Amino acid sequence: MRITVDTDRCVGHGLCEATSPEVFEVNDDGYVDIDGAAADTAGESVLREAAAHCPSAALTLEP
């Protein structure tokens, strides 16, 4: 499973980072960076939880 961030929608709330700080980090520009290697090992449930908590729906899961 792959997760991506739509930077046009992301407003940097950081709820994804709070859910899984090893995968997500709000950068200095206020957007989310995703650690691809950590995302690969995080598990589908972790990624789904982060996407569900994103208030701007900026995270997308792809098979």
What's residue 23's pLDDT? 97
**DSSP string covering 8-40, please?**
TT-----HHHHH-TTTEEE-TTS-EEE-HHHHH
Q: What is the pTM of this model?
A: 0.90
Q: Does 3.30.70.20 match the CATH number of domain 2-62?
A: yes
What's residue 22's pLDDT? 97
What's residue 21's pLDDT? 97
Domain locations in the chain as residue ranges: 2-62
Query: What phi and psi, each to the nearest 5 degrees, are found at residue 55?
Result: -70, -20
What's residue 63's pLDDT? 87
Q: List the pLDDT tens digit at each of the 63 positions of the chain.
A: 899 999 999 999 999 999 999 999 999 998 999 999 999 999 999 999 999 999 999 999 998
Cα angle 29-23-33, degrees, rounded to a multiple of 5: 20
